[in-house]
A and B are shown apart, each in its own frame.
Chain A
Amino acid sequence: MSSPVLELRDVGREHGRGEATVHALDGVSLSVGPGEFVAIMGPSGSGKSTLLNLAGGLDSPTHGDVIVEGKRLGGLTRSSLAQLRRRAVGYVFQSLNLIPSLTAVENVMLPRELDGIASRRARSEALDALREVAMDELAERFPDDMSGGQQQRVAIARAVVGDRRLILADEPTGALDSQTGEDVLRMLRARCDAGAAAVLVTHDARHAGWADRVVFLRDGVLVDETAPLAGPESLLSTSPIE
């Protein structure tokens, strides 16, 4: 098996100290390989978002290691961590965080330009990413002139631009109607089928259904996960009906 894109080794995250210590995450180990789509389910307060923030280097564990593309985040300098976040990791959040004064294509180019990529190349990559989410024709629109679903597509394009290998999504379909939400998941799925790794945090079982593997968090601990899928036929060839 190829080496994981994301690996959590016995990761814990505590808040406070002494008797008031809260274990947001406790002894979590998780490995996500290239092409793999993993969903994390759990009630609110179970540590889902903490896990995602640690995976993206937005927060640091109090013990254990987070490894992205073979690099231990705890061992990186502040600037190399920032660079890894920009180059290797894409985020899709419930709130879209598009910059209102930039057009769709400019929003998508931004992380690449911040990374020092020449504007012309950044633009061409951004257009490729927008094409992938069927938004290339609206590339010059501003966020205010787009529907919620269109804005979310742009946010996804921004998360994957420049061939980033790890996509972290936190309830990315929050404000969308069910059909548009499904389109978003189909795009994440397609991105994984093309080789990226994705971690989706959700409380919605129908969204988790898109994943290759679903892990369940409870009180900061991984309590269970679904068995690997055999294939589309296994559940659907039962005995004849009576």
Chain B
Amino acid sequence: MSIRYGLLSLLERRPMYGYQLRQEFEASTGATWPLNVGQVYSTLARLERDGLVAVSDDETADADRESQRVYAITDNGRAEVRTWFATPVRNTSPPRDELAIKLALAVHTPGVDVHAVIQAQRTATVRALQEYTRAREAAADDLSWLLVADSLIFAAEAEVRWLDHCETRLARAARTRTDAASAKPAGSVRREDARS
């Protein structure tokens, strides 16, 4: 996730202090992705270096002190924000998904009950869904936060559906093995074994 574009698009609203940017970022995203103030200032320093923001001229206070500086977006910064909004987020290489990797390994690891792995994950994910649903209802008029909460909820729902699907697939694979085993005489190579 790019803090850089987050801060730049907030500065499109009006010039702000670093701590204001942090507050507004968290308010927009329901504190789902908290920022620490150090990240905000280091990002602002890079944005200033790249000419995308400038310390506001009307700032009379001690401009050397980070907390006293008001940042404003430049024309180049505006162009950068436009480009960001106009460009789809790329998902070219799938992110490393620990759960998918875990299940992929679980099916061939001796002594691991894959169904138990799936159920433990399902319980945890549904519980997360309960929390997201509550949090969303608690902040029902904040459109930005509603969108973020919906995103979390739909992602969790998708994970549960995928877990359900995994179980169906496991059951089918187990049936195929049983059928193959009972259909062939002892000693023949089973299809599942031959493939693995």
- B partners with A: yes
Known A43-B164, A206-B157, A232-B135; judge A216-B122 contact (CB<8 A): yes
Q: Is the CB of A237 within 8 A of B3?
A: no
Q: Select one of B31, B154, B167 contacting A236, CB under 8 A.
A: B31
The digit string for A22-57, where 1 denotes a CB below 8 A from any CB of B, is 000000000000000000010100000000000000
Report the interface size for chain B: residues with CB under 8 A from the other chain: 36
**Does residue B125 face the partner (Cβ distance < 8 Å to A)?**
yes
Set of chain A residues within 8 Å of B133, measured between Cβ atoms: 206, 209-210
**Does residue A223 face the partner (Cβ distance < 8 Å to B)?**
yes
**SS class, residues of chain A in contact with chain B:** loop
Known A236-B30, A236-B131; judge A205-B123 contact (CB<8 A): no
Closest to B161 in A: A205
Bound-complex Cα distance A25 to B138 (A)? 37
In the assembled complex, the CB of A58 is this many whole angstroms from the nearest CB of chain B, namely 27
- Of the candidates A189, A211, A236, A239, the one having the most CB atoms from chain B within 10 angstroms of its own CB is A236
Known A43-B164, A205-B160; judge A226-B33 contact (CB<8 A): no
**Does residue B126 face the partner (Cβ distance < 8 Å to A)?**
yes
Q: Is the CB of B130 within 8 A of A226?
A: yes
**Does residue B134 face the partner (Cβ distance < 8 Å to A)?**
yes
Q: Is the CB of B32 within 8 A of A229?
A: no
Set of chain B residues within 8 Å of A223, measured between Cβ atoms: 119
Bound-complex Cα distance A233 to B167 (A)? 32
Known A205-B157, A205-B160, A223-B119; judge A211-B130 contact (CB<8 A): yes
- Of the candidates A209, A225, A238, the one having the most CB atoms from chain B within 10 angstroms of its own CB is A209
Bound-complex Cα distance A227 to B120 (A)? 12
**Does residue A208 face the partner (Cβ distance < 8 Å to B)?**
yes
**SS class, residues of chain B in contact with chain A:** helix
**Does residue A16 face the partner (Cβ distance < 8 Å to B)?**
no
Set of chain B residues within 8 Å of A232, measured between Cβ atoms: 131, 134-135, 138
Q: Is the CB of A205 within 8 A of B126?
A: yes
Closest to A234 in B: B131
Known A205-B157, A205-B160, A234-B131; judge A214-B126 contact (CB<8 A): yes
- Of the candidates B33, B120, B123, B128, the one having the most CB atoms from chain A within 10 angstroms of its own CB is B123
Q: Select one of A210, A211, A225, A237 contacting B34, CB under 8 A.
A: A237
**Does residue A20 face the partner (Cβ distance < 8 Å to B)?**
no
Known A205-B161, A214-B126; judge A236-B119 contact (CB<8 A): no
In the assembled complex, the CB of B36 is this many whole angstroms from the nearest CB of chain A, namely 4
**Does residue B127 face the partner (Cβ distance < 8 Å to A)?**
yes
Interface residues of A in 198-242 (CB under 8 A from B): 203-206, 208-212, 214, 216, 218, 223-227, 229, 231-241
In the assembled complex, the CB of A228 is this many whole angstroms from the nearest CB of chain B, namely 9
Q: Select one of A208, A216, A241 contacting B119, CB under 8 A.
A: A216
The digit string for B1-12, where 1 denotes a CB below 8 A from any CB of A, is 101000000000
Q: Is the CB of B132 within 8 A of A224?
A: no
Bound-complex Cα distance A41 to B31 (A)? 30
**Does residue B54 face the partner (Cβ distance < 8 Å to A)?**
no
Set of chain A residues within 8 Å of B127, measured between Cβ atoms: 214, 226-227, 229
Q: Is the CB of A236 within 8 A of B130?
A: no
Set of chain B residues within 8 Å of A210, measured between Cβ atoms: 130, 133
Bound-complex Cα distance A28 to B143 (A)? 42
7 closest pairs, A vs B, by CB? A209-B129, A205-B160, A209-B133, A232-B135, A226-B127, A240-B36, A206-B157
For the A-B complex with A203-B164, A225-B123, A240-B36 known, give 4 more contacts whose Cβ atoms are closer than 8 Å.
A206-B153, A206-B157, A209-B157, A226-B123
7 A-B contact pairs sorted by A residue (CB < 8 Å):
A43-B168, A205-B160, A214-B127, A216-B119, A216-B122, A218-B119, A240-B39
Chain A interface (Cβ < 8 Å from any Cβ of B): 41, 43, 186, 189, 203-206, 208-212, 214, 216, 218, 223-227, 229, 231-241
